[in-house]
Amino acid sequence: MKIKLSILFSSLLPLTIIAEENYPNILFLFADDHAYQAISAYGSNRNNTPNIDRLAKEGMLFERAFVTNSICAPSRAVILTGKHSHLNGQLTNRERFDGEQQTFPKLLQKNGYQTALVGKWHLKSDPTGFDFWQILLGQGPYYNPPMKTSKSVDKITGYTTDIITEVTLDWLRHKRDPDQPFVLMCQHKAPHRNWQPGPQYLNKYDGVVIPEPHTLRDDYQNRLVPASTQSMTIDRHLTNNDLKLNPPRNLTTEQKSAWDAAYGPKNKAFEDAGLSGDALLKWKYQRYAKDYLRCIDSVDEGVGRILDYLDESGLADNTVVVYSSDQGWYLGEHGWFDKRWMYEESFRTPLLVRWPGITKPGSKNSKLVQNLDYAETFLDICGVQAPPEMQGQSIVPLLKGKNPKRWRKSLYYQYYEFPGGHSVRRHYGVRTETHKLIYFYMLDGWELYDLVKDPHELHSVYDDPDYARISEELKAELNRLRSLYQVPKDTRPLIQKAKKKKTD
Ligand code: CA
């Protein structure tokens, strides 16, 4: 009886403390493949995101936020566990996430928080550590998605981004316990390939010319082979489905008629024009960029609806709102779509945090931060101690406007999924505030970029004798980071183990 009572008290005690201390809620708004170049608060010259921008105006914008492994499932696993891919086991999109391991939602749940997850999960195993979850199956379609809960799988009619917003609002309004703090993860599928816009944005940007990025016609000279042997160019690798020359297959009659009304005339105009060469590249870029941006319009609208609800309900004052993406994205930079590389546009990711009363409105921070830091940050905000095996660093001091002297000076990155989609070779590397050293280890080839003189990363200076000293320093730093993060000398057995696990 004594034992039972102690269990009862130990499980109730945190709830009491949490309620009395008024710990904040966390709302994690998460997109998939959202380029920072497509957020107006980050200086986009291609679109406006007034609702996401609210978080920059009312909170902090991180100018140097990065990921550890620029691809969907691995990024999500890093965020949940606070550990690099080689330790959490999710090296590529192919593995099944080991939900038995420690995650920040589990720790918050144990400490009196209610935990909820809505939208894209993409980790194959069912979510663990959540009181409520409703997720897409795998990648999920843009229209009429089946969604899974702990009890059932049900197909929902509508546009997926809007549905994820609705389910999130429904949980906030009706499903949560108002006496308990929460962490709610609202995770969109958009703007992931193949960029199918929602009904209300099918004609947005018609007649508008979206500016092309500086490196759309990159010729991949002055770098090693990998940049030229990938398969993610707008010019050669977009399919007819990507370009919407074929309509989506799973639309309702009403949705199909809206789609045909929007794309029928656009596609006829394209066929009539008979484009080729650079004119065709221009057309493909416009078609691709507009559909991508249209998808973001629905995400931004959803963010606005949720922020409005926080205001109306009185939750806003005690809720930390975070906006981020699982990685960055090439919106035509280097001629590409997709991600995976340690090159800047996919290595970086948006990160905006609004914490009323703590974070200075309209502030910017240029410290090096990483998705590796999110778990420890969320635990810190909620007053829960992070386990020592987590590898990130809480960014709470930065959110409080402090300037810690011992903040990290460099970032570690490693990408594993090769052979794989888009043929990006495995690589690892180090980035400081001024330079980036990348090692394509399957080829034993190095690239070095001077980010101050060459921010678009068009010219590797690895073989330039003027950079010999910096190159040696960065190699030493890379070794230090690999040792700090316990990266095995040879990571190939990890991939083989993961492959074997998949077939087991
Ligand atoms: Ca992604």
How far away, in angstroms, is 192 Cα from ligand 1 center? 7
The string of pLDDT tens digits covering residues 203-220 is 999 999 999 999 999 999
Q: How far is CA 183 from the centre of its chain?
A: 18
Please report the pLDDT score of residue 183 as a whole number: 98
Q: Which two tokens stand for residue 338?
A: 């997709």
What's the CA-to-centroid distance between 102 and ligand 1, angstroms?
Answer: 23
Distance CA 28, CA 324 (A): 8
Tell me the chain's radius of gyration from C-alpha atoms. Answer: 23
pLDDT band at 9 (very low <50, low <70, confident <90, very high): very low
Report the separation in Å between the CA atom of 297 and the middle of ligand 1, taken as the mean of its atom positions: 17
Gap from CA of 381 to ligand 1 centroid (Å): 26
Q: What is the pTM of this model?
A: 0.95
Kindly list the distances between the CA atom of residue 84 and the CA atoms of 285, 392, 487, in Å, as whole numbers in the listed order.
34, 9, 9
Q: Say how many Å lie between the CA of residue 74 and the centre of ligand 1.
A: 9
- Cα(284)–Cα(335) distance, integer angstroms: 11
Ligand 1 centroid – CA 182 distance (Å)? 25
- Residue-level pLDDT at 19: 52
Residue 32 CA to ligand 1 center (angstroms) comes to 4
- Domains of the chain (ranges; CATH) run 7-196+290-409 (3.40.720.10), 412-503 (3.30.1120.10)
Query: At 20, is the pLDDT very low, low, confident or very high (cuts 50, 70, 90)?
Result: low
What is the pLDDT confidence band of residue 501, given thresholds at 50, 70 and 90? Answer: low
Report the sign of the C-alpha dihedral through residues 115, 120, 122, 124, in that order: positive
Instruction: Find the 327 Cα to ligand 1 centroid distance in Å.
Output: 6
- Helix then strand then coil, in percent of the chain rounded to 5, is 40, 15, 45
Share of the chain above pLDDT 90, in %: 93
User: In angstroms, what is the span from residue 208 Cα to ligand 1's centroid?
Assistant: 27
Taking a 5 Å cut-off on Cβ, the residues next to ion ligand 1 are 32-33, 72, 326
CA-to-CA distance for 61 and 67, rounded, in angstroms? 16
C-alpha angle 190-41-297 in degrees, rounded to nearest 5? 30
| Residue 33 CA to ligand 1 centre (angstroms) | 4
Ligand 1 centroid to Cα of residue 444, in Å, is: 28
Residue 326 C-alpha to ligand 1 middle, in angstroms?
5
CA of 31 to the centre of ligand 1 (A): 8
At residue 5 the predicted structure's pLDDT band, cuts being 50, 70 and 90, is very low
Q: What is the pLDDT of residues 333-352, one digit of tens each?
A: 999 999 999 999 999 999 99
pLDDT, tens digit, for every residue of 430-469?
999 999 999 999 999 999 999 999 999 999 999 999 999 9
498 falls in which pLDDT band (50, 70, 90)?
Answer: confident
Q: Is the pLDDT of residue 358 over 50?
A: yes
Interval between CA 65 and ligand 1 midpoint (Å): 15
- What is the 81 CA–ligand 1 centroid distance (Å)? 17
Give pLDDT tens digits for 295-326: 999 999 999 999 999 999 999 999 999 999 99
> How many A from CA of 210 to the centre of ligand 1?
23
C-alpha 37 to ligand 1 mean position (Å)? 15
User: How much is the pLDDT for 450?
Assistant: 98
| Residue bearing the bigger pLDDT, 136 or 495 | 136
Written as six digits, the tokens of 34 are 């959202």
Residue 498 Cα, ligand 1 centroid: separation in angstroms? 20
5-9, 222-226, 343-347, range with the lowest pLDDT: 5-9
Give all strands of the β-sheet with 427-431 in edge-to-edge order: 411-415, 427-431, 435-440, 445-450
Residue 220 Ramachandran class (φ > 0 left, ψ -120 to 50 alpha, else beta):
left
The set of residues, in sequence order, having a beta carbon less than 8 Å from that of 35 and lying 6+ positions away, is: 325, 328, 329, 330, 331, 345, 350
> Is there a contact between 60 and 402 (Cβ–Cβ < 8 Å)?
no
Listed residue (361, 331, 167, 98) closest to 234, CA to CA: 331
DSSP letters, 360-419, are: PTTEEE-S-EEGGGHHHHHHHHTT-PPPTT------HHHHTT---TT--S-EEEEE---S
pLDDT at 145 over 80: yes
pLDDT(85) > 90: yes
Section 172-177 average pLDDT? 98
Measure 195 CA to ligand 1 centroid, in angstroms. 13
The proportion of the chain whose per-residue pLDDT surpasses 70, expressed as a percent, equals 95
- CA of 175 from ligand 1 middle (Å) equals 28
Cα 324 to ligand 1 centroid, rounded to whole Å: 11
Ligand 1 centre distance from Cα of residue 271 (Å): 32
Task: Compute, in angstroms, the gap from residue 500 CA to the centroid of ligand 1.
Answer: 24
Span from the CA of 336 to the centroid of ligand 1 (angstroms) = 15
Residue 92 CA to ligand 1 centre (angstroms): 12
Instruction: Please tell me the distance between residue 279's alpha carbon and the centre of ligand 1 in angstroms.
Output: 30
2 Cα to the center of ligand 1, angstroms: 50
Query: Separation of 34 CA from ligand 1 center, angstroms?
Result: 8
The rounded Å distance from CA 8 to ligand 1 centre is 41
Distance (Å) of CA 259 to CA 149, 162, 203, 250, 267: 30, 17, 10, 12, 12
| Å from CA of 366 to ligand 1 middle | 23
With H, G, I as helix, E, B as strand and everything else as coil, classify residue 300.
Answer: helix
Cα 86 to middle of ligand 1, angstroms:
19
DSSP per position, 112-160: T-EEEEEE---SSSPP-S-SEEEEESTT--SBS-EEE-SS-EEE--SBH
C-alpha 178 – ligand 1 centre gap (Å): 32
Distance 59 CA to ligand 1 centre (A): 24
SS3 category, 163: helix
- When pLDDT is averaged across residues 394-406 and rounded to a whole number, the result is 97
371 Cα–ligand 1 center, Å: 13
Say what the pLDDT of residue 499 is.
73
